[in-house]
Amino acid sequence: MILRTLFLCLFLAQPAQACRTALILAMDVSQSVDPGEFRLQIDGLAAALRDPEIAEILVRDQVALSVLQWSGVDAQEVSLDWTRMRSPTHVQVFANAVQRLERGFVMSNTAPAEAMQRALQHFQGGPDCDRRVVDMSGDGTPNAGGEVGRIRRTAERAGITVNGLAIESLGRAITNFYLRSVITSDGFVETARGYRDYARAIRRKILREVSTVSG
């Protein structure tokens, strides 16, 4: 009994495992995204989180996740608040919640600067993690809102990494915009060749984000 009590005391005295990464998953739901494409996004994101390799890292590193839907200047919604992935059950519950998400906005413009600004604000009062990362995905360039580069520079000064997932239809216009204006100097861009390729691209992107310190 004494040994068991001592063991429990020592166990309870151990510091809580540190959170390595706080990751905001920011999804474009502007008017260019039709209902089927929205479904491909949430199904693809949920599948990526359930991927055994990703799920193992999420739990191992106690990653904190949050989902943000974004569109026009006044259209940003924290759909899933910060949740630490403390166990496989946490990952499964969070992935299920992603798959049940209702669309936050319809028929709204594309304002990535305001979306990024909202994401940076969301870190305030959030989990105390070693790294803070914004995962910006989208299928268009801005048609509303402020200067994206200014918000990117704000993120860099705050030590926040911004990565991009460019959903292309033809060419590299969206990829080039994310490379030029959205991602921070330590960030990277993953390209999806249409929404049918989104599931592959988001899995690859999240795996890279949680596996490495920088792009």
Model confidence at 10: pLDDT above 60: no
The verdict on residue 3 lying in a domain is no
The answer to whether residue 13 is domain-embedded is no
3-state secondary structure 31-87: CCCCHHHHHHHHHHHHHHHHCHHHHHHHHHCCCEEEEEEECCCCCEEEEEEEEECCC
Q: Is residue 133 part of a domain?
A: yes
State the residue range of the domain holding 164: 18-211
Q: How far apart are CA 77 and CA 28, in angstroms?
A: 11
Q: Which of 5-19, 32-46, 86-100, 160-174 has the least mean pLDDT?
A: 5-19
pLDDT in tens, 184-198: 999 999 999 999 999
pLDDT, position 125: 86
In a domain, 5, yes or no: no
Is the residue at 102 inside a domain? yes
Any domain includes 88: yes
pLDDT at 55 over 70: yes
User: For residue 160, what is the domain's CATH number?
Assistant: 3.40.50.410
Residues 57-92, buried b or exposed e (16+ Cβ, 10 A)? Answer: bbbebbbbbbbbbbbbeebbbbbbebbbbbeeebbe
Note the pLDDT of residue 13.
42
Note whether residue 51 is domain-resident.
yes
Q: Is the pLDDT of residue 7 over 80?
A: no
Does residue 9 form part of some domain?
no
Residues 184, 178: Cα–Cα separation, whole Å = 10
**Token pair listed for 58:** 């999420």
Domain count, the chain: 1
